[in-house]
Amino acid sequence: MSTQHSSLNAQQVIRPIGILGGTFDPIHNGHLRLAVEAQEQCKLSEVHFIPSGTPPHRHTPFASAEDRLHMVQLAVHNNPMFLADQRETYRTDACYTVDTLTALRAELGSQQPLCLLLGSDAFALLHTWHQWQELFELTHIVVMQRPGQPLGNSMAQADPALLHEYTTRLAPSPKVLHESPAGHIVVLNIPALEISSTDIRRRCVEGKNIHALVPDAVAHFIHHHPYTSC
């Protein structure tokens, strides 16, 4: 067997790592279910949950970056495939995904497959992200669509540059995520869990129970560190 063939075989067995970013204000069971589905369908080795420090596209989170990181740590600590990644927590400048992925790529090497996990709504706005086309040099993108809301229908109205990337890079199966480090788009069907961080914050302010919506450890933390506004 040639050295080149051996290298290809070694590359093919590297399982992808999932990247799930967000404000997680707070993290809830919908986030965790999404990560479980992505991990199972794509056979990911692990999923990094990365709470954004200073999100460039959204309002300032209600909970501090440290509290949001702590809630993520509480939520994932029982799952060995989930990791709370604090790389954005203590940054005071805008946290762009391209910078975070560049740092991860430098740490994990050029051959490690990475998968950025996005909801279909976020993917439809990808062309508004900072240096968005560079993302495909760093990662695959796994888009999670809800039943009855096929991504292909909404892409007909998409930004032309984004539509071009979508049609060029779309792969029929998650198998491709194991065969190269970056560059493909895979669409998954994810069961809907109608849970939102906004609703959880509202329920906290109103003194309502949130135990069915977030992990118990997160509910306990919020009880002792309550949201005061929403």
Domains and CATH numbers, the chain: 3-194 (3.40.50.620)
Q: Indicate whether 99 pLDDT > 80.
A: yes
Tens of pLDDT, residues 127-142: 999 999 999 999 999 9
DSSP conformation letters of 193-218 = ----HHHHHHHHHTT---TTTS-HHH
* Average pLDDT along the chain: 90
Of 53 and 51, which is predicted with more confidence?
51
Q: Give me the residue label for tokens 């509290």.
A: 67
Tens of pLDDT, residues 152-178: 777 888 899 999 999 999 999 999 999
* pLDDT-based confidence at residue 1 (cuts at 50, 70, 90): very low
pLDDT of 57: 67
CA 53, CA 203: separation in Å to the nearest integer? 24
For residue 34, CA distances in Å to 1, 28, 115, 164, 226 come to: 41, 10, 14, 27, 25
- How many Cα atoms are found within 13 Å in the side-chain-facing hemisphere of 214? 29
Of 59 and 30, which is predicted with more confidence?
30
